[in-house]
Amino acid sequence: MRPWYSKAILPTFVGLAYLFLYIPIIVLVVLSFNAVALNLGWQGFSLQWYYELFTSAEIWQALTNSLVVAFCAVALSLLMSVVLVCYGSPLLHSIRWFFYGTLIVPEVVLAVSLLSVFSFLSIPLGLTTLIVSHVLLGLGYTVPIVYARYISLDNRLLEASLDLGATPTQTFFKITLPLLAPALLASSLLVFIISLDDFILSFFCSGATAQTLPMFIFSVIRSGSSPVVNALSTVMLMISSVLVFIFCALQARTRIL
Amino acid sequence: MKRETVISVLVRCLIVVGWCAAIGIMLYVPKVIKHLQPRKSINLFSWPQLIDSETLQGFEKETGIKVNVSYFEANEELFVKLKATKGEGYDIIMPSDYMVKALTKEGLLKKIDHSKLEFFRDINPALRGHSYDPNNAYSIPFLWGVFGLGINNKFFKSKLSSASWDLVFTDKLAPHPIGMIDDAREALMIAAQYLFRTVDNLNAEQVQQIKKLLVEQKKRVAMYTDLRTDYLLLAGKCPAVVGLSTEVWKAMRVNPDIDFFIPEEGGFMNIDSIAIPASSENTESAYKLINYLYRVDILKHLVEKYAFFSPLNTVVGQVPDPRRMPVPTARQIKKLDFFRTVFAEKQLNEVWIAVKAE
Amino acid sequence: MKMRIYSLIAKEFPFFLVMPALIWQVLFFYVPLLWIVYLSITHVGAPFFNFTLAHYTGLFEAAFFKIIARSLFLAFVNAVICLLIAYPIAYFAARSPRNWRNFFLFLLILPFWTSFVVHVYAWFYVLDTNGLINSTLLKIGLIKEPLAMVNTLFAVFLVMIYCYLPFMVMPLYSALEKFNWTLLEASMDLGATPAKTFFKITVPMTLPSIKTGFFLVFVPSFGEFVIPALLGGSKKMYVGSLIYHYFLVARDAVTGAAFTCLSSLILVAACLIIAWGFRKIFAGSGGVAQ
């Protein structure tokens, strides 16, 4: 029989790993209630940073920008990949490799090439270019996920629907889309989060009017931190938790991953 | 059969062209919108920790003009972003002295109409008419400071009364680490001032000496930073830090052990100015914001909060201990140099990459 | 006539719908990359198609290869350590009872979905001289002076592992979750020790996901520059920092383009070598890969 402690090795290791994953997050949350600005240890409970967070017009503007870009990125990339997958049948098997490139290239390379092209063509940098680059990122994730789900669909359902007299359009909206729904939801959550958190692409391709949340946080870190960022991170953590919860619930029920 | 394939191909080409046009239109839309809409907002491109949102909100309340602010941490970043967009999209920018010269050479700045500025006569004369912009035609000094040495006296047996660049270039302070500037141009000029007492007319061999010195210095450096020198001093990591007086003053205000010295070799002055890009169409609002920022009460608030030296003679911030504020005397100002463009880009790159590649 | 137009529209409708995605990808991914390659082989300011390799020859110096080598080293070690840490985590989560599994998955994904810049920021508070680790160790009395952890290579590695761990865990978890655990019982029944079972059955069967995870970590780590800049004291340049330097500081887009292409080629070569290495190591242990 195996000795008693060999059974404990794995859980201990995993426990330590989880601790490693959560130490900085816990520290961040706790310090967001700290009453003093510099990193000089705990000095008392205070909600002042949350107050400053909610009254800072700059952060709200950055948040708005981030959300607008994220929603547009999700909508556009989802739309384009769904029609690509559902209507691109003959070429699809080979064409989908086309889209995997975005994940293979380091983001820095993507960002500088986009910046070079944009500046060469005098395209105004701003929300539009941000959205464009985030949709590019999004396509790299939505196409594989939706494709994987589409392939696993039972073709006979679609054939049956057509046989029973539905037009291709009706079949698309009433049969295909609902069947694809879990994949659509999963990939939209994924793209949403990736767009919200994206830093490198946004840093290179943004203009004057479009400062996103990660860019704001980065410039605060670079120039000496303000604990408002702690409060901001805690709030973002809460939002992420909700989204992750939804994703996990989905995954449990429909096994997308 | 053949005719149908030809038509099919034509239609497909049309579709492709159509989508490309649609995407192209989408990309250029902001340009068009800019011209059509009278904008009630202006775009400010500024250093971080210089203008707080309180001030900007106050401006918005008074004039109804919204200020969109974005940040840059290095002059070169400002230059590249400005050039990439051909200056469009930004209404007020804050270049440093040498950057003003570079930008005027590229034709990216608009001439400033001094008559529109209410405060122009009050600007400290020591800040005006420098070589980078002889008549202040393109830039108005907003903040100034001096590059020197921030010292943490805790590490020294007795309080220092003066300092020299050799504190950061020799092993005097070993084993303690030091903090160094993270900017190629500034680092090279400081090294040049230390080695040769001058930054002009340096030949290739002298540049190699500078390279050797900087590479050798690297093993003593705790952190290369422009804007976090106060953190290095306050956290008690470094006895000496190369930094801007603004940053060191921030640390001095809260810790009596910290001091700032202009090194004996001379030191460097830094003037960050307000400038208007040539392609900005929002000049009216820009002048309103400029006048607002230089108002006595607003400037006082900013100077007190962010610890820079005031550009106006009429505004002096309330400081807890004015004797400690590291404002240079007139004699010291005479000895100060600027970070000018004396090195070729290639030389700068070569040395800096060699330093960082180690 | 009308009928023909309608039938034409109906025939080309799928093409019409499919095009945006393809055009988007081509316009914003392939064209910019080609543009970068083009920039790197033309003379500055010269008319089109005036080719030169001068920008590349200017890069054949020790400093540049040192930087590339350093990035390769960072990326490789990062990927290996992530693999070593991620596998047990994924294994444990995939084998846990149904009701616990979602909880573990939730805990696992949550850090992944928090902004990466925030992670970097948070580690500062932990590793700093006055941060969590130092204050705790000082209080307990284990050390007399605070450890210098920030602005060191150690901090860079630590935070890189932290940020890229989820990329390794996700593919491993999804493969292990679908794993046929009865195979392990069968193997043990046939007399293999747990260790042998693991290395001869589990690992080879999850090899595709190991490879996916490895490259998902290796490739982005190669281009990483934010973490070394913020946590490494900006002391050493990596490929990403140099690209950033060329494009946003030195305003030298052409040399930057050449360097980008050069390091991308080296990256591709490295990936091919690693893929070959995977094949070699796992050549004998079964052709059961999916």
pLDDT tens, position by position, A47-89: 777 887 887 777 888 888 899 999 999 999 999 988 888 887 7
Chosen for mutation from C101, C118, C157, C173 (greatest number of chain A CBs closer than 10 Å) is C118
Task: Give CA separation, A165 vs A161, A170, B169, C3, C252, in Å.
Answer: 7, 10, 85, 22, 63
> Residues B333, B273: contact at Cβ < 8 Å?
no
Give residue B11's pLDDT band: very low, low, confident or very high (50, 70, 90).
confident
Q: How far is B280 from chain A (nearest CA, A)?
A: 12
* Candidates B47, B49, B85; nearest CB to A125: B85
Closest partner residue to B30 among A126, A216, A220, by Cβ?
A: A126
Chain C residues closer than 8 Å to A236 by CB: 114-115, 118
- Chain C neighbours (≥3 Cβ pairs under 8 A) are A, B
User: In this complex, do B45 and A208 lie within 8 Å of one another by their Cβ atoms?
Assistant: yes
Other Cβ atoms closer than 10 A to C151 = 25
Q: What are the tens digits of pLDDT across the range A120-160?
A: 888 888 888 899 999 998 998 888 888 888 887 778 888 88
Chain A interface mutation, best of B27, B34, B70, highest count of A Cβ atoms under 10 Å: B70
Q: Which of C18, C92, C243 sits opposite A112 (nearest CB)?
A: C243
How far is residue C66's CA from residue B189's CA, in Å, rounded to a whole number?
26
Token match 């948040």: residue? A63
ipTM over 0.90: no
- The residue of chain C nearest to residue A189, with distances taken between CA atoms, is C113
CA nearest A61 in B: which residue? B68
Shortest distance between the Cα of A229 and any Cα of chain C, in A, equals 8
Cα distances from B301 to residues A66, B304, B307, B318, in angstroms, run: 31, 5, 10, 9
The pLDDT of residue B36 is 67
Helix axes C62-95, B345-357, angle to 10 degrees: 50
Residues 238-257 of C with CB under 8 A from A: 239-240, 243-244, 247-248, 253, 256-257
pTM equals 0.83
Which chain A residues in 152-171 lie under 8 Å from chain C, judged by CB atoms?
none
Looking from the CA of B11 toward its CB, the CA atoms found within 13 Å total 18
User: How far is C-alpha C63 from the chain's CA centre?
Assistant: 24
Distances (CA, A) of B18 to A86, B6, B11, C25: 21, 18, 10, 16
Q: Which residues pair with A186 in a beta bridge?
A: none
Decide: B232 and B180 in contact? Cβ < 8 Å: no
CB-closest option in A57, A215, A224 to B230: A224
Q: Taking the CA of residue B227 as centre, how many other CA atoms within 13 Å lie in the half-sphere pointing to its CB?
A: 19
Given a cut of 70, whether residue B321 has pLDDT beyond it is no
Using a CB-CB distance cutoff of 8 angstroms, which residues of chain A are in contact with residue B43? 208-209
3-state secondary structure of C251: coil
Chain centre distance of CA C124: 22
Comparing CB atoms, the residue among C19, C234, C237 nearest residue B16 is C19
Q: How far is CA C11 from CA A162, B9, C7, C250, in A?
A: 17, 12, 6, 52
Band of residue C284 on the pLDDT scale cut at 50, 70, 90: low
Compare CB distances from C235 to B8, B16, B218 and report the shortest one's residue. B218
Q: Which of chain C's residues have a Cβ under 8 Å away from the Cβ of A10?
A: 88, 91-92
Predicted local distance difference test score (pLDDT) of residue A98: 81
Cis peptide before C220 (omega within 30 of 0): no
Specify the amino acid at residue A57. A
Closest Cα to residue A200, out of C157, C116, C29?
Answer: C116
pLDDT in tens, B301-310: 888 888 788 8
**pLDDT over 70 (residue C289):** no
A168 exposure class (CB count in 10 Å sphere: 0-12, 13-18, 19+): middle
Between residues C106 and A136, which one has the greater pLDDT? A136
C-alpha pair distances (Å), A68 with each of A212, B31, C50, C64, C159: 10, 19, 42, 40, 30
Structure tokens at A97: 């490799």
How far, in Å, CA of C12 to CA of C15, rounded? 5
Confidence at A107, pLDDT banded by 50, 70, 90? confident
**B85 touches C: beta carbon within 8 Å:** no
What is the predicted pLDDT for the residue at A257? 47
- Alpha helices (H) in chain B, listed in sequence order: 2-36, 53-63, 75-84, 97-105, 166-169, 184-196, 204-217, 229-234, 245-254, 283-293, 296-306, 330-335, 345-357
DSSP assigned state of A45: B
- Taking all residues of chain B, what is their mean pLDDT, rounded to a whole number? 83
C96 three-class SS: coil
Q: In 3D, which of B103, B51, B54, B111 has the Cα closest to residue B82?
A: B103
Instruction: Name every chain A residue with its beta carbon within 8 A of the beta carbon of B28.
Output: 123-124
> What pLDDT does residue B317 have?
64
Of residues B294, B332, B341, B331, the one with CA closest to residue B146: B332
Distances (CA, A) of B1 to B4, B5, B6, C2, C10: 5, 7, 9, 19, 18
- The pairing of strands B221-224 and B178-180 is parallel
Tens digits of residue pLDDT in C194-238: 777 787 788 888 888 888 889 889 998 998 888 888 888 778 888
Q: Are strands B268-274 and B140-152 parallel, antiparallel or unpaired?
A: antiparallel
Are the beta carbons of A240 and C114 closer than 8 angstroms?
Answer: yes
Cβ atoms B35, C36 nearer than 8 A: no
CA distance, residue A173 to nearest chain B CA (Å): 24
pLDDT in tens, B173-217: 777 888 898 888 888 888 988 888 888 888 888 889 999 999 988
**B223 touches C: beta carbon within 8 Å:** yes
Residue B219 C-alpha, separation from nearest chain C C-alpha, in angstroms: 9
Q: Which residues of B touch C8 (CB under 8 A)?
A: 7-8, 11
Cβ of C162 within 8 Å of Cβ of A133? The answer is no
Could you give all domains of chain C from N- to C-terminal order, each with its CATH number? Answer: 62-281 (1.10.3720.10)
**Length of chain B, please?**
358
Find out whether C51 and A137 touch, Cβ atoms under 8 Å.
no
